[in-house]
Structure 1
């Protein structure tokens, strides 16, 4: 479908470029419901990295009244503050470190922090001068070696040293490294066992270790909230095609020029492609500055029911495609979507779907269905 001229519910959608992402918010809600039926517990919607490229303000706004979403997880303090300014009432957890000179904003906006090391805890204590304690979730490192406490002794020490005047410990969590890999099931089970061994008999408001992969491929009962990330956006965590979820994002461009080149002519930077015969070449306004990386050279796009190869190097703002004489100016081009799923594109690029959607830059306009009125975030 062509979305460049859209009028719905009196909202006129203006486009400034013929490259855009289509975000189907109804699919997002369907995926939340599908995952809830699997785990039957409250969920934390993970909307870091601009909601995996889908637009964190719009995604959060569409989920803020969803009965299955009890919490939001973000990567940065700015994301958390923006959610509060949008009117999000649920708890918000920053999953990584923040610059601690911003502790006053953490308290002001009632945001929860991840407490992941003794040093970080002591820094917070040394800088704390507020009326209310800071809400924290203690991170346990069970094998990722990214952030988190590494032993039961360290965990107990943090619990002992955490002054209740400074910290309100609301939760504890870990993150799995291999929950999406059936060949490494033992590693997943070792992490799960270590997490609960370190946790012991302690009880918290939130206990969470289930990520999207754990929710889809494993059964875990003690955690009382699940973190729904990539699966919420309709993407299988293992990068496979997934019929039970609906891919929320599709990416489109348009043909802005069709030219005939003669046998022996070259295409693009470095002359990496040479025409074997007289050929038709279409130019599209999408390039690596949009997140469409140079490794896409040689892959195919979908136009009018047919697949056509990308020839020559991907440029910063444009890319060339070898087509036939049936392709015309303004024809719609699917980069990924119904005919080219993200799982297929990721395999062809030797990467993961996460990377593809997260790399889509801000200059690629997101078009939301149902159409949203503009969301304003106060400064």
Structure 2
């Protein structure tokens, strides 16, 4: 095991991931859970997360890029892998050889892929992406019939069809229901019952379990983060945050009234103050916009003061504390807790972004402290055929 000398670390509770996975497995009934592990498992560490979810019943992982899929294959992950983004033509033979499912995103892509197919390799496994309203990638609704015909006439292994909801995490459900209706029209003309249908992301799987179809794709909520404030307030089961971020005080000094600190001296002491330095900065993902954000020391909130530096930042203490005192930046200490959502609000962004911006310089340390329990869910009230 690699020894880390700097005390800054992200602690990932794999037990929390197990509990979140179990909640969605229960809520989704007979539908399988596709675990979305793109972007290094949303910053949580893809190998540890992939192995954990596979050991707990997941039979398909989803990533965003061909390189993410190849990394998992090269690390010995043999379960089904779906690349949800568009793949270049040069990857088609590799996907055949390495048993990687790719996404057909347009008629043009299908034509390109057909030319690249190698008859000496396995059939190319594809899932067809349908654009029902996200307007990002995917076959247009008026092209679906033609796409079905093209796939049938060529050596593709047509294994799945899916869409992505743009507003499943919002209170205004008008576009969401338009997308549901559009996808229903596609499913109505899908003749092969063996083709897997999956439409729900974390938000839809939480708010509309009746849309589970054959599978649900669980990304952000696998890691214990609600897709939005609205979903978090409405959901009928508990999520368990998997990531905490911690460090230690490395230096303490007292500054005098009126003295400034850090770059630009933008913060000046209003009285004699104890200032502690922490070994974490914007090169680690502690962005400069987090100036003023609280951290936890001895179970109490204290603020980050002055501009955050590349490798370090400063906090204002209420008393002199020793070097080595534990500091919690995300997570709980004593009776207090700082959630990822709090960082997101201060940075005026979404919670998804926070674990993803923690850089490789912050080691991920794994624990497993929780126990799977039964979680309640509600019966469906609308249907996707």
The residue number in structure 2 matching 1:230 is: 220
In structure 1, the partner of 2:288 is: 294
Matched with 2:40 is: 50
Distance 1:76 1:261, change over 3 A: same
Answer yes or no: is the 8 Å Cα contact 2:93–2:116 preserved in 1. Answer: no
* Alignment of 1:167 onto 2:161: no
Q: 1:207 and 2:197 equivalent?
A: yes
Q: Which runs of 5+ in 2 are unaligned?
A: 370-385
TM-score (norm 2): 0.88
Bigger Cα displacement from structure 2, 122-131 vs 355-364: 122-131
Give the aligned partner of residue 382 of structure 2: none
Does the residue aligned with 1:298 lie in a helix, a strand or coil? coil
| 1:65 paired to 2:55 | yes
Matched, 1:137 2:127: yes
SS at match of 2:82: strand
Q: Displacement, 1:274?
A: 1.1
> Aligned pair 1:80/2:69, yes or no?
yes
Do the aligned residues in 2 keep the contact of 1:61 with 1:86 (CA within 8 Å)? Answer: no
**Aligned partner of residue 98 in structure 1, secondary structure:** coil
> Out of 67, 82, 87, which is 1:98 matched to?
87
- What's the offset of the Cα at 1:104? 2.3
Cα offset, 1:206, TM superposition:
1.2
Instruction: Write out per-residue CA displacement over residues 208-256 of structure 1, whole angstroms, 9 at most, x where no aligned residue.
Output: 0011001111132462101011111011111447770110010111111
User: Structure 1, unaligned stretches of length 5 or more?
Assistant: 1-11, 372-379
| DSSP-derived class of the 2:27 partner | helix
| Partner Cα distance (1:51, 1:293) in 2 | 21
| Runs of 4+ that moved beyond 6 A | none
Within a 5 Å distance, the mapping from 1:1-379 to structure 2 comes to 14-40=3-29, 41-67=31-57, 69-131=58-120, 132-151=122-141, 153-162=142-151, 165-182=154-171, 184-202=172-190, 203-221=193-211, 223-239=213-229, 240=232, 244-338=238-332, 339-370=337-368
Secondary structure of 1:168's aligned partner: strand
User: If the length of structure 1 is used for normalisation, what is the TM-score?
Assistant: 0.90
| Structure 1 residue 124, shift from structure 2 partner | 1.4
Quote the offset at 1:29 in angstroms.
0.6
Give the length in aligned residue pairs: 357
Partners of 2:368 and 2:24 lie apart in 1 by: 22
Tell me what 1:3 maps to. none
2: CA distance, partners of 1:172 / 1:324 = 57
User: What is the CA-CA distance between 1:354 and the residue it aligns to?
Assistant: 0.6
> SS of the residue aligned with 2:338?
coil
3-state SS in 2 of match to 1:259: strand
* CA-atom RMSD in angstroms: 1.8
Match of 1:6 in 2: none
Q: How many Å separate the matches in 1 of 2:359 and 2:195?
A: 37
How far apart, in 1, do the equivalents of 2:197 and 2:163 lie? 9
Measure, in 1, the Cα distance between the counterparts of 2:225 and 2:7: 25
Q: Is the 8 A contact 1:311 1:322 kept in 2?
A: yes
Q: CA deviation at 1:66?
A: 1.8
